[in-house]
Chain A
Amino acid sequence: MEEQGRRLDVHEQHSVEQFLYDEAALLDRLRYRDWLGLLHADIRYRMPVRVSTARGRPDQLATMDHYDEDLYGLTKRVERLETDQAWTEEPPSRPRRFVTNVRGFWRSDGDLTVFSSLLLFRSRGDMREPEWVSAGRQDRLRPAGSGYLIACRDITVDESVLRTQNLALFI
């Protein structure tokens, strides 16, 4: 079980929630370069492919992810979004991220394990139906200065067949 260690107290909980909300606000406002500043240099950002399987069997593919990125990959993706030719986000979508169910625990090495639920609403253009991505996240946060850095993010997406045209937006 990952839910080990001391649960965050009310002040720590508040600080972690504010961090996640601030992160979501940066992404919603398309401030991707600032978002990169929240990532640890050794970040692993991963979203395995989810599958329908019989109860008790793994429901994620062991060898395929939607994302498995390091800082280089994420930086390249951000650089691309900063050009004016990344057509899937030009004109940009109007995203809104809803972050809930935040639970945090202290690890023995001084990092935090933080679980959260994320609902991404993506409105694009004027005629398209909006798209949704529902996911759980397990973050490893490293205290840094007055805040945190994201050292690892494991995303459990809730669809086996995504109903979004791509994952140009970060989860």
Chain B
Amino acid sequence: MLAAAARGRPPAAIYSSEAVYEAERSRLFPRTWQFLAHESEIPAPGDFVVRRILDDSFIVARDDHGTVRVLLNVCLHRGMQVCRSELGNTSHFRCPYHNWTYRNTGELVGVPFHAEAYGGEAGLPKAERSLIRPRHESYRGMIFACLHPAAPSLADYLGDYRFFLDFYLHQSDSGAQFAGPQRWLIHSNWKIGAENFAGDSYHTPHTHASIVEIGLFREPRANKRKEGATYQVGPGGGTTYKLPAEDARQNLGYVGYPVEMIDRMQAAWTPGQLELAGRGRFMVSASTLFPNLSLVHNWPQVDADGLVVPFISVRLWQPAGPGETEVLSWFVVDSQAPDWFKAASYRAYLLCFGSSGMFEQDDVENWTSITSMSRGYLSSSVLLDSTMGLAAPPPPAPVAWPAPGTAHVGFGEYGQRAFLRRWAAYCAAGPGQPVAEPDQEARLCADPGSPGYRAVAG
């Protein structure tokens, strides 16, 4: 099953199988860096949010000294969930069961009748009962945790994918602010959304035909998609749109950024990033960081006068079982953006993505159906087809890729296959075994001499 998936022919069962889910639960999720929260969600000392990694609950808090803490939300006494709010501000967390009380650093500071019940420190050393703190690291304010002590650092894990993350998160030196999340449960396997954002530019003109039809976008049907490139780099991959100008400032203006924001992007981005959006004419759109974090950037018309404003969303496909996913969807905007832009961009986000978003509505309808169909005796064994671009690649575009990773112009399921290869590598690695770095597809299939295929390494 894993080998077939890695070749781009995943059996449908991977979207509902209990055994597959168990492998993901025990082998994949603990060994990958999992996004929990953005620092802008907990700006003040004492602020906290509660987030999950599958069935583990974590408190993400800013302590009284301003340090970000990630604490397993489980009392060391009887395993009670210590904090049962989704967010708030507090210096201490008190377990309701027996009043064990923890500082927001995780230290146990209060045990009722400590002397009488336990014989004091000799019987129960409080320092040995701090809330469990998993590894956590941040990138551009995004707080990630990793439950496996031997996994690589976040920086090593992200690698050159940071080049692409920065388009969403580093539009100025102050960085982004996150609002949300909207949360809702869908009857869908978590991978389907992740694969979609990792490279499915092919679905846009069809799944989202209604949005094209109502004129929410300027561009004619599918055109901006088929000229775009998809890219794969390390644990990430995504899609881009082709823009009209060979100048980054003009293209950023075309998608609706005001001059003052463009000035800040120009100062914040590297020459390579500016070249991708400039001479390369590619603007980032959907993207997935393996395994279950996706980002999206698009630019609808937000009023009857045709004002075009871009928005950014970050979303987590949080598994809640083999066929259930909780979606957590944030609106993201540069913290220095002018207020009018933040307001208009927020409206653009709500129209397109999130619990009421018109793109999201039709995506989830498809993903729910795929998950449901994958349960059949016969249908679970169907080898789905993610081979686009392997046999008959689309024509190459005469364009360099001034960015890390591998890129292809036009439709192709390169990103989905890269996702599945990585997914298979994690699921195959048993306890104590290292996760093999998945093969590069170029070694499997690329034919540099083919007139229809172009892979450019960064």
Contact = CB atoms under 8 A, between A and B. Distances in A.
Interface in B132-188: 179-187
Interface residues of A, number: 38
Contacts of B231: none
**SS of B interface (majority):** mixed
Interface stretch (B115-123, B210-218, B385-393): B210-218
Given A83-B214, A161-B184, A166 B366 contact: no
A53 B85 contact: yes
A108 interface: no
A127 B75 CA distance: 41
Interface stretch (B239-247, B349-357, B401-409, B417-425): B349-357
B372 to A, nearest CB: 7
A69 B358 CA distance: 13
A87 B86 contact: no
Nearest to B184: A162
B86 A52 contact: yes
Interface in B356-384: 356-358, 360-362, 364-366, 368, 372
B186 A165 contact: yes
Contact of B184 (A77, A79, A88, A165): A165
Contacts of B354: 66
B302 to A, nearest CB: 8
A76 interface: yes
Contacts of A162: 182-185, 355
Interface stretch (A13-21, A28-36, A56-64, A95-103): A56-64
A35 to B, nearest CB: 16
Given A53-B88, A79-B214, A80-B211, A65 B350 contact: yes
Contact of B350 (A67, A79, A164): A67
Contacts of B211: 80
Interface in B191-240: 207, 209-211, 213-214, 216
B315 to A, nearest CB: 13
Interface in A75-122: 76-77, 79-80, 83, 85-88
A68 B349 CA distance: 10
A52 B361 contact: no
Contact of B362 (A57, A73, A86): A86
A83 B209 contact: yes
A83 B326 contact: no
Contacts of B299: none
B331 interface: yes
Nearest to B357: A166
A69 B364 CA distance: 21
Contacts of B372: 127-128
A166 B361 contact: yes
B190 to A, nearest CB: 15
A165 B356 CA distance: 9
B358 A66 contact: no
Nearest to B208: A85
A168 interface: yes
Given A52-B86, A164-B184, A64 B179 contact: yes
Interface in B90-128: none
A64 B361 contact: no
B260 interface: no
Interface in B230-288: none
B355 A166 contact: yes
Interface of B: 84-88, 179-187, 207, 209-211, 213-214, 216, 302-304, 326, 331, 346-347, 350-351, 354-358, 360-362, 364-366, 368, 372
- Which 7 pairs from chain A and chain B are nearest by CB? A162-B184, A167-B356, A88-B361, A88-B365, A63-B179, A64-B180, A85-B210
5 contacts: A51-B86, A88-B365, A164-B184, A165-B187, A166-B355
Given A61-B180, A87-B361, A162-B185, 7 more contacts: A57-B85, A83-B210, A128-B187, A165-B365, A165-B368, A166-B360, A166-B364
Interface of A: 47, 49, 51-54, 57, 61, 63-70, 72-73, 76-77, 79-80, 83, 85-88, 127-128, 160-168
